[in-house]
Structure 1
Amino acid sequence: MITEIVEKGVYFIFSPVKKCSHISICIAEGLKKLGIPIFSNMDCWLIDLKNQEYLFKNDRQLHPNNCAIVVADIYFIEMTNNHPLFDLFYELNEEVILVIIDPNDSDHVLTGRTERLTAVIRVHMHKFRKYPSQYIPWAFGISERIRIATENSKLFSERKRQVLAVFRSSLNQSVRVAMNFCFISHLQDKIDINQNQITEIGNNISLNDFDYLYWSQFPTHHIPKWFDSLKNSMFCCAYGGNFYYADLDEKLLENSNLGQKPAIARWDSWRFWESLAAGCVSIHLDFDKYGFLLPIKPVNWKHYVGIDLANPQEAAQRIIDEPELMVQIGLEGQRWALENYGSVPVACRFLDIVLGEEFGTIENLIDAVEDIS
């Protein structure tokens, strides 16, 4: 099957309004590095300004049936059981592998007409929510844009001893509000807290080709001044999301007299992956305690600082009292993130999923692709 994927490629379907999500970009960048052809229903995500080369290329002569895998990115598409995408899926040959990428903040899940789907790749998953069997936990991860933008970071010892607590405007961020009260308040007299908003680039600022390429396509997220701040700061607050009540699954209900449990939705964060890539100490909530699901989870106090909302003061005190540990977390977190969530590891994990873990490890999968190439 891997031979067929390398020969036929992967076909991505995007909404003409919102186009490609960051999740699709990360996967496709890795597939491209592995030598696997990428096609799409539209030209999307410019990667070479001079030659007008797109990561996702539209070939009007190519039908999705001619590719090995068809991926539908439902970024801001309202998915219902009667969505036209399902009609397309059921018209495709049985041999074509069908995958949905769901990077949305909504808690909606697909029901019905999903038997042809191999997988639904979903961010923000947590253990207190019931998901259909095809759902696979995923993460924002580190695109090539983020990786390059965070290169050449300063040594940890040379950075400003400050906590970046700057967030993009976003609705329903009750986690951030709570953390201002219960966590930041314990740090602000002991360490500099930078809450100065870093806004979009003005028209009078000149950009190099790389920054212009990505700022012009993603102006709210690709801000060179922000990446400079990351590379010059020791700490970065990277939490997000909102509190809500989630229905417990049946196994958890057996051990509980409650029908609901407090949970955190929309917990994955751009700041988390950007700050990890830049070598900052990334501050989030405790992934294990709050049930966040990832393909590979980071270890608290090794790769990041995970806050327990029941005792946030303890984490704040360790940040202040253990500078040598903070140096180590910055280094280990960056290494862990790039090794597990850079574009090639992400693409290999995607292939491992759609192939039913035929290869079992990223290393074996890379070897197999290289042998075919």
Structure 2
Amino acid sequence: MKFLFVGTNPENTGAATHFVALAQAMVEAGHQVSAVVYPNGLIANSLARSGARLYTAKFRNVFDLRGYFATFKAARDLRPDWLVGNFGKEYWPLILISRLLGIPVALFRHRTPAMGRVSGYLVPRLAQRFFAVSSHARQAYLERGVPPQLVRVLYNPVNMAWCQPDPQKRSEILHDLGIPQDAIVLGYFGRIHHSKGIFTLLEAAEGVMAQEPRLHCMWLGHGPDSQLLGERIDAGSFAHRHHMLGWIDDVHPYYSAISMLAFPSIATETFGRVSVEAQAAGAPVLGSNIGGIPETLSTNVTGMLLPPGNVAAWRNAILRMCDTEVRKPMGVAARDFVDRHFSTRVIADEFVRILGDS
């Protein structure tokens, strides 16, 4: 099949990561993929060596005629079987171009907050396929009146080759950070914001550090609460066992360095790509039982679901996961779980199947 993906968002967001992963998945599956992207943006740079043909355009907003022109020209020249969109500002342009050229359009929604009244009603009804990225998100759309038959679920694909256990890389990263090779490393990868449960995690981890001398914490990400988190770490008794690495463009190697991942959000998450990627690398996950997070793991098989904000529950779970006999079997099961449910192969096949449904 021929696809024209349209994603001119220059920012590094979950939707952008999904856009790249899905486009690459379709290339790997043998489909012809082209993409309209923001020049020199994250998406363009990520797809540059993927085998996808790239066109450049900018949609400042839904009324930006330059974006319409560039996308219309690419669609008219390529005549793809499907147009694919990921970002709200491109929903209406793609629907219009779809009507003008007679090309069906598939649109993904990555957020649960309501669209405007008109868009919320019309977009799912005018797109030939409208996708939620989790069952949790789908339910939110149904509760706003979208007919169930119009909302399909397609999870984020994960490239298993990018996320895999790598003992050599683990050893190198731990050495560079001054972490003992026999350390148990608890990882947090994400935005440094209180809504992500970072302070619950910090308090729980420090409680475990008092009992388990091998436990270290690795914090990857940045956000408005980075300074406050650093101050609280410095004020504690185990500052030397916390490692704040800030923003890292390619986090994939760091999954190999962690023994487990924490996903402690106290606010609803639509999905949880970081959870799936960590499991693909053989790291079990401790996740909040909220939003779409439960869909990313197999409870008590590849990780544990915990009450959001409950420090005692998180402390006990981290301590339990420090036991090799608990952690190692979960890590083995985790990679197999992701391969069966979220690998690029599986998601590409499911995408084509849903597009072909009558």
Report the equivalent of 2:320.
Answer: 318
Does residue 1:84 correspond to 2:93, yes or no? yes
- The gaps in structure 1 that reach 5 residues or longer are 201-218, 244-264, 359-373
Contact conserved, 1:166 with 1:196, CA < 8 A, in 2?
yes
Residue 233 of structure 1 aligns with an amino acid whose one-letter code is: I
Residue 83 of structure 2 aligns with an amino acid whose one-letter code is: V
Aligned CA distance change for structure 1 residues 227 and 99 (closer, same or farther; 3 Å): closer
How far residue 37 of structure 1 moved from its aligned partner, in angstroms, is 0.4
**Per-residue CA shift, 1:23-79, capped at 9, x if unaligned?**
122222221122110122347534687xx66534339665278211111120xx447
Q: Percent identity?
A: 8
Aligned CA distance change for structure 1 residues 137 and 193 (closer, same or farther; 3 Å): farther
Counterparts of 1:158-173 in structure 2 under 5 Å?
160-171=182-193, 173=195
Aligned CA distance change for structure 1 residues 172 and 198 (closer, same or farther; 3 Å): closer
Give me the whole-angstrom Cα distance separating, in 2, the residues matched to 1:32 and 1:346: 12
How far residue 235 of structure 1 moved from its aligned partner, in angstroms, is 1.6
Give me the whole-angstrom Cα distance separating, in 1, the residues matched to 2:9 and 2:24: 20
Counterparts of 1:1-373 in structure 2 under 5 Å?
5=1, 9-15=2-8, 17-18=10-11, 21-42=16-37, 45-46=44-45, 55-58=52-55, 62-63=75-76, 66-74=79-87, 77-78=88-89, 83-93=92-102, 96-104=103-111, 107-109=113-115, 110-114=119-123, 115-123=125-133, 126=136, 129-131=140-142, 132=146, 133=148, 134-143=150-159, 147-148=161-162, 150-153=164-167, 160-171=182-193, 173-181=195-203, 183-191=204-212, 192-198=214-220, 220-223=247-250, 227-240=252-265, 242-243=266-267, 265-266=268-269, 268-286=271-289, 290=290, 292=292, 298-309=297-308, 312=313, 314-320=316-322, 322-356=323-357
Contact conserved, 1:165 with 1:193, CA < 8 A, in 2?
no
3-state DSSP class of the match of 2:44? strand
Q: Which moved more, 1:269-278 or 1:168-177?
A: 168-177
How many residue pairs end up in the alignment? 290
Aligned CA distance change for structure 1 residues 103 and 199 (closer, same or farther; 3 Å): closer
More helix by share: 2
How far residue 269 of structure 1 moved from its aligned partner, in angstroms, is 3.3
Contact conserved, 2:35 with 2:52, CA < 8 A, in 1?
no
How far residue 227 of structure 1 moved from its aligned partner, in angstroms, is 4.4
- The gaps in structure 2 that reach 5 residues or longer are 56-70, 171-179, 223-245
Aligned CA distance change for structure 1 residues 108 and 170 (closer, same or farther; 3 Å): farther
Give me the whole-angstrom Cα distance separating, in 2, the residues matched to 1:305 and 1:298: 8
**Per-residue CA shift, 1:212-250, capped at 9, x if unaligned?**
xxxxxxx94534xx544431332221343x43xxxxxxx
Residue 353 of structure 1 aligns with an amino acid whose one-letter code is: I
3-state DSSP class of the match of 1:266? coil
Aligned CA distance change for structure 1 residues 68 and 347 (closer, same or farther; 3 Å): same
Aligned CA distance change for structure 1 residues 41 and 170 (closer, same or farther; 3 Å): same
Give me the whole-angstrom Cα distance separating, in 2, the residues matched to 1:199 and 1:297: 20
Where relative contact order (Cα < 8 A, 6+ residues apart) is larger, the structure is 1
Aligned CA distance change for structure 1 residues 307 and 155 (closer, same or farther; 3 Å): farther
Give me the whole-angstrom Cα distance separating, in 2, the residues matched to 1:230 and 1:220: 14
Aligned CA distance change for structure 1 residues 136 and 305 (closer, same or farther; 3 Å): same
Report the RMSD for the aligned CA atoms in angstroms.
3.8
Report the equivalent of 2:59.
Answer: none
How far residue 22 of structure 1 moved from its aligned partner, in angstroms, is 1.5
How far residue 99 of structure 1 moved from its aligned partner, in angstroms, is 0.8
Residue 93 of structure 2 aligns with an amino acid whose one-letter code is: P
Give me the whole-angstrom Cα distance separating, in 2, the residues matched to 1:220 and 1:138: 28
Contact conserved, 2:76 with 2:101, CA < 8 A, in 1?
no
TM norm structure 1: 0.63
How far residue 130 of structure 1 moved from its aligned partner, in angstroms, is 4.3
TM norm structure 2: 0.66
